[in-house]
Structure 1
């Protein structure tokens, strides 16, 4: 395929913070691309700078309130469509196992490991989301967002138990260990 737009997301499953989606069309090959989770934070930051200089890209961010209002799947569909409308490519490939029925979109499991454009999108999405969560850690220090990035770690759940939900928590995401036991 002449030019491919790789698409990936970061933040589908956390209890707090945004869903971040990125689409990337590479102009030239970039060495060292792989799934963002397999790279160190320092290496992701270096590659982020290279990708944003040497590729066409588009980043879409959905905050917790929008996720609660629309649902995670609706946000993913909206983000995919926005990326496809914004970035011109011969084909569009989303990491994962579904296209959500979107015409012109293909999906592939582990594309973030195997396909450079999707790896680049993975890096942009993760670095963008991590930067947001580090900032949120400064705004809400009692939650430790800079450490766990909003994922449901033991420390994060304890912080919610102690402090309640912050404005960036996803109220629609249920945490079984925080639910009251039924009296019936």
Structure 2
């Protein structure tokens, strides 16, 4: 098991393995909640243990999960993530035509998982209102920035998030923080330049 589990950059082999919504969901559950069996994961994602077991083996071949030999027995295999999170630079993969499909699947799955996490929170809102009624935030901001300014802003946000990283303490909640910064075309006929006036 790697000594530093905090984050690993994805390589092409890992990207191909992660480019499936179910595998992404399983990795997310293992990172958030710790080791699990194929049967346990199957119950949580609505799939058979045979299906989750097959996907776990593919993730293991890519080095993203491993068998947790401290748990289980010959009849029951436990699996754990080999990292707390993954990171990637789209620029590392965008020019490889063989990775176009996996990259698209991966990015869409990331976005779908974010939506599902926020949607789950909205559905559980009454449960959280005692302590979180004025603490949770969903924000959507439109800014006029250069690509360099957007990158600098993102680096500052990541630095702030890193300041809050620490081991869990009594009374903590497992908090999800999402961050995105990307351009949008104002109008289909627009050339992509900023609007004037």
Q: Report the TM-score when normalising by structure 1.
A: 0.30
Which structure carries more relative contact order (alpha carbon 8 Å, separation 6+)?
1
